[in-house]
Amino acid sequence: MSNSRSFYAATVAEFLTAVPDQLIGQMSSRLAKLHGQAENDQIKAWMREIELLRSAFSQIGDAASNWGVLFETPLLRLGRRLDVVVLTPGVVIVLEFKIGSKTYNSQDVAQTEYYALSLRDFHEASQVRTIVPILCSDAAASTQLNPFPIVDGLSATMRTNAAGLTEALLAAAGHPGQNQEPITPHEFETSPYRPTPTIIEAARALYEGHSVADLGRGDASAEKLDSSSERLIEIVVEAKTQKKKVICFVTGTPGAGKTLLGLNIALKSRVAGAGLPPASLLSGNPPLVHVLIEALAEDAHRNRGVARPKARREAGSAIQGLLGFLREHTDGALPPEQVLVFDEAQRAWDAEVGLKLLGRERSEPALFLDIMAKGDWACLICLVGPGQEINRGEGGLALWGQALKEAEEQGMSWEVWSAPQAVSGGPDIGPSGLTNDINLLVKTDERLHLSSAMRAYRSPQQIRWVARLLEGDIAGAATIAATMDEPPAFVTRDLGMARSWLARHRRGGRSVGLLSSSAAVRVIAEGLPPTPRSNELDAIAHWFLRPYQDYRSSSALETPLSEFGCQGLELDYVGLCWGGDLLWNEGWLPRTMAAPHWRNVKNDDRKTFRINGYRVLLTRARLGTIIYVPPGSADDPSRVPREFDEVAKVLMKAGCQSITIVSHRVV
């Protein structure tokens, strides 16, 4: 097939009449265009794969002649290629070859499942068909071809050697398909594919030179993200060429892609140029900074052979901690970057915190404007979201408005661009806006607002449901839940069941993990260890980056992480362990531990921080959440069963579903 995305795509009948040497030449040419040359090991592997498939299809005979076969099909935007895809009526077979392998190791099984899950989650044509992953280790001693149940459109992974490949293909093709309509290789390749990478995957891809457009899902939310990215680049280039100081405020719901936009500016300027001056993403979230730097450094070491210390320095120049940046440049030298991206800018701290941290009674926005005003031009991009304030002294957008007004009065002229939502405040950023109680000239642009949540890609209503729940609008939450294909969360009173549910979703390398509020200090009595502190950065990096076989990994399901450790990051499936720090009594009742008793929180700001902590925890999952509500203990006044019963009841009223009802399903 000409202009095919795959290296080769045809019907089985065409494949069997093709000259193998010509087929190898075609695929080698495609590989050379990507990597400069075709490696001998890859060519030898293709020769063996073609040999095995020709034999298997010939044995199957006429029944396979109209099947489709595709070699090296790219999973666009995720940087992977499928070895072989076989298309039969109603079934998509994902075939991963490990030529020369004598075993079916867990890493290879997970890789095969990952590819199949990527089609199930993101590929439109595959979503209406049964997907069967097959791992072929051609030198293995035995096969595992027993019929596997189809769960959510996907079979468990078959394992076969060379001798069993024919039987494996027949068994896979025999699965009952959801849609029995035949599909051609061309139709398969041109069907919409809308992946949603995690922030770690996105950072890795951007660091390798991909664009936001490459990472997008191909739908309306991705088009909006791409449009916002282009507008930000225009603003940066204009600030540089016209030698002016510009600040812009990008708003969006949690999970809409704001940090992805910031990473694009910071990493694109360093790896692709594109006319952009060097930029840095600054975050006041040390765990996020550390995890991203470690992920990028490990990739640079593994893929480019860069020594780890140098790789960390390279990544650390593009992604930096806010406080470290301020300490270096307040009353110091002009920073090397004239373009800065301030992540979670609504969490900027006030003058009181500035005095405590830096000995300067200046707010964080005022300090940044002071620093960037030293150069002949500057562009400061502020990413703004709602309901993420979890520390004292976080003053919202009003601090930025005040700092800009003060700079204007002192003769420092800043051109202000903003999403309309940031001007006077609203549900997308909180009650505080830029112009509250001040007269500030702001230019608005709708392209600077992201309205579609990309994180919870299978339940875009999840963010709205969490908002209604934590506002205490249980009826409103239930109404939203009724419109969702799956419940917004599952509830269990058994920690072992929660762990089992998460472990079942670990297949294919899916990330799973336990979360718990930093103030839920009594979950230790339920058998959970304390969460790592937010300054235990290596422990948090291991938690996000290690495979599940490593006990330090989130997917090992041993240690929970708090809102301070996970903010800005995400998992595929989350187990939230509800604590005694947030109860229900005709409304949410935040509490704090004053050992040995709980005390109700009376300060309004502290109440907000506690509820926002749960907002963070409830919005970390991309695919699904299970909430463990402890049973409590009648002998322990800090774990009163009746109090937890009320929490479980209100979650159920809000639209959650008991895990006991669906424990036989993998959802």
> How many whole angstroms separate alpha carbon 597 and alpha carbon 87?
62
Does residue 428 surpass a pLDDT of 70? no
Does residue 663 surpass a pLDDT of 60? no
Residue-level pLDDT at 145: 82
Q: Does residue 118 contact residue 195 with C-beta atoms inside 8 Å?
A: yes
Q: What percent of the chain has pLDDT over 90?
A: 50
Does residue 662 surpass a pLDDT of 60? no
Q: Which residue has the tokens 């959970």?
A: 528
Does residue 270 surpass a pLDDT of 90? no
423: confidence class by pLDDT, cuts 50, 70, 90: confident
**What is the mean predicted confidence (pLDDT) over 239-245?**
93
462-662 topology per CATH:
Rossmann fold (3.40.50)
Does residue 191 surpass a pLDDT of 80? yes
Which of 325, 295, 241 shows the shortest CA–CA distance to 544?
295
Does residue 268 surpass a pLDDT of 50? yes
Which of 634, 538, 626, 505 shows the shortest CA–CA distance to 577?
626
Does residue 516 surpass a pLDDT of 90? yes
Residue-level pLDDT at 88: 94
Does residue 463 surpass a pLDDT of 70? yes
> How many whole angstroms separate alpha carbon 179 and alpha carbon 37?
40
> How many whole angstroms separate alpha carbon 244 and alpha carbon 459?
42
DSSP state of 471: T
Residue-level pLDDT at 277: 79
> How many whole angstroms separate alpha carbon 253 and alpha carbon 450?
7
Does residue 292 surpass a pLDDT of 80? yes
Does residue 247 surpass a pLDDT of 90? yes
Cα within 13 Å of Cα(490), Cβ side:
26
Please list, in sequence order, all residues whose beta carbon lies within 8 angstroms of the beta carbon of residue 144, skipping any fewer than 6 positions away: 104, 158, 159, 160
Q: Does residue 292 contact residue 319 with C-beta atoms inside 8 Å?
A: yes
Q: Does residue 1 contact residue 69 with C-beta atoms inside 8 Å?
A: no
Q: Would you kindly state where each structural domain of the chain is located, as residue ranges? A: 8-190, 207-450, 462-662
Ramachandran region, residue 458 (left: φ > 0; alpha: ψ -120 to 50; beta: rest): alpha
For the stretch 14-37, pLDDT in tens is 999 999 999 998 888 888 776 655
Q: Does residue 319 contact residue 266 with C-beta atoms inside 8 Å?
A: yes
Lowest-pLDDT range, 9-23, 240-254, 439-453, 465-479? 439-453
Does residue 232 surpass a pLDDT of 70? yes
Residue 287 in tokens: 């765990």
Q: Does residue 41 contact residue 49 with C-beta atoms inside 8 Å?
A: no
Q: Cα(first)–Cα(last) distance of the chain, in Å?
A: 37
> How many whole angstroms separate alpha carbon 539 and alpha carbon 553?
9
304: confidence class by pLDDT, cuts 50, 70, 90: confident
Q: What is the pTM of this model?
A: 0.80
Residue 414 in tokens: 């800043």
> How many whole angstroms separate alpha carbon 474 and alpha carbon 465?
9
CATH of region 207-450, choose from 3.40.50, 1.10.10, 3.30.60, 3.30.70 = 3.40.50
Q: Does residue 180 contact residue 129 with C-beta atoms inside 8 Å?
A: no
For the stretch 380-414, pLDDT in tens is 999 987 755 545 556 678 889 999 999 998 888 89
Which range among 201-205, 222-226, 653-657 has the greatest average pLDDT?
653-657
Higher pLDDT, 71 or 37: 71
Lowest-pLDDT range, 201-210, 212-221, 604-613? 212-221
> How many whole angstroms separate alpha carbon 440 and alpha carbon 402?
9
Q: Which residue has the tokens 């993998």?
A: 666
Helix (H, G, I), strand (E, B) or coil at 47: helix
Dihedral sign from CA coordinates of 300, 301, 306, 308: positive
CA 275, 277, 283: angle at the middle one, nearest 5?
A: 130
Does residue 352 surpass a pLDDT of 70? yes
Higher pLDDT, 347 or 187: 187
Residue count (the chain): 667
Which of 611, 613, 620, 542 shows the shortest CA–CA distance to 574?
620
Helix (H, G, I), strand (E, B) or coil at 186: helix
Residue 212 in tokens: 């936001």
Lowest-pLDDT range, 89-103, 147-161, 494-508? 147-161
Count of C-beta atoms within a 10 Å radius of residue 219: 14
Residue-level pLDDT at 213: 59
> Can you spell out the DSSP letters for 333-370?
PPPS-SEEEETTGGG-B-HHHHHHHHS----HHHHHHH
Q: What are phi and psi of 513, to 5 degrees?
A: -175, 160
